[in-house]
Amino acid sequence: MDKKAVDAARSLYYGLFSKMLVFSEAENRFEGLKEALEVMAANPMDTNSGEALKELQVYMNDEGYALLAEEYDMIFHDPENPIVRTTASFYAEGLESGKKLVEVRQFVAKTRIRRDEKQFREPEDSIGFLMTFMHELIELVISGEASYLPVQHCLFDEVLNLFLDRFVPNLYEHPSANAYKSLAIVMHAFVAFERLYFGLGKPEAPETETKQSTSCDFISDKEAKRRAENRIARSADTLVASCSLENDDDSEGILEQ
């Protein structure tokens, strides 16, 4: 298995999610989205996500970026419609700016990545920031900085894995979701792969404080590598086929290093 190729494909998926889930008023916020979808739709992870990627392509071609931005606002920010909550704190505690925000800031502090507050207005535990942060961490590992692999593992284990099973269905079921319904299908398939990649199962529902896991404050590089390589062979070949597109900087204007 080509570990670097698998990580390149993972980076591509996180880059897609970043582009579609980060709040931005920039005119070029969706730049590169069509090109990424072309590669990913040609090499899907499974049948369902493949169909969803094709649906996203059709939507982009027929409706364009303006309607995608409008749909985003209706799902996440329109006070006249039910709003899909986006923060890990909300799903963990039922409130914003809770313990999960503090945890994510601690993860960020362990890296040289920082939030660009002028361009990125949402908190660090928002889904858009988390997708972008993971993309950046993977890129650092690909560039040879293996010390960031444990941060990836722990961020997924202790934050993303605990609320994505609730965020994704909420996104899928939103009455205004069209393109984002398709995105939810892709996210569902990718979350299953990430659990295989990191050797993790689904969390208990609801999340409990007694979840058994190895402390990520003291996890060794050797142990993180063992976990990351465990149980991914069945899905890796399919995912690798998605990484033939050269990655651009999906997080431009959002994160600083």
How many other C-beta atoms lie within 10 A of the C-beta of residue 112? Answer: 11
Question: What is the per-residue pLDDT for 25?
Answer: 81
The end-to-end CA distance of the chain, in Å, is 30
How many other C-beta atoms lie within 10 A of the C-beta of residue 208? Answer: 10
Torsion of CA 216, 222, 226, 228, to 10 degrees: 60
Question: What is the per-residue pLDDT for 118?
Answer: 73
Domain segments of the chain as ranges: 3-256
- Say if residues 249 and 255 touch (Cβ distance below 8 Å): no
Q: What is the pLDDT along the chain (257 residues), one digit of tens a residue?
A: 578 889 999 999 999 999 999 998 888 889 999 999 999 999 899 999 999 999 999 999 998 899 999 999 999 999 998 999 999 999 999 999 999 999 999 999 999 998 877 777 889 999 999 999 999 999 999 999 999 999 999 999 999 999 999 999 999 999 999 999 999 999 999 999 999 999 999 998 654 443 444 455 544 445 544 544 544 554 565 666 554 444 444 444 456 66
Instruction: Tell me the β-bridge partners of 114.
Output: 256
Structure tokens at 150: 């444990």
1.10.10.60, 1.10.3480.10, 3.40.640.10, 1.10.287.1080: which CATH number matches 3-256?
Answer: 1.10.3480.10
User: pTM value?
Assistant: 0.84
